[in-house]
Amino acid sequence: MGECECRPLGFLIGLPFALASLLLSLVGAVIWIIGSVLSCLCPCCICFAALANFAMGLIKLPIQVMQWFIDKIPC
């Protein structure tokens, strides 16, 4: 048989952490919008593009947290 794909315990344990990272992703969305606008206004500043890339990492954080917890719990 293959590897167990359904790990409800990992999902339940990771849920509070995913909710906390969801709040961070909302902050990341705001930072991304501000960074995108500023990089359009002044394209010579590379730091605004780096800020927008950092914000995208924050936006993806809840999914990464849930996947990490689900991968750590055995079947």
Spatial CA neighbour of 67 closest among 25, 2, 13: 13
Cβ atoms of 73 and 7 closer than 8 Å: yes
Tens-place pLDDT, residues 1-53: 455 566 677 677 777 887 888 888 888 888 888 887 887 777 777 777 777 78
56 C-beta neighbours (distance < 10 Å), count: 16
Residues 6 or more apart whose CB falls under 8 angstroms from that of 30 comprise 55
Over range 50-63, report the average pLDDT: 81
Please identify which residue in the block is written with the tokens 């999902």: 11
pTM of the full structure: 0.62
Dihedral sign computed on CA atoms, order 46, 47, 51, 53: positive
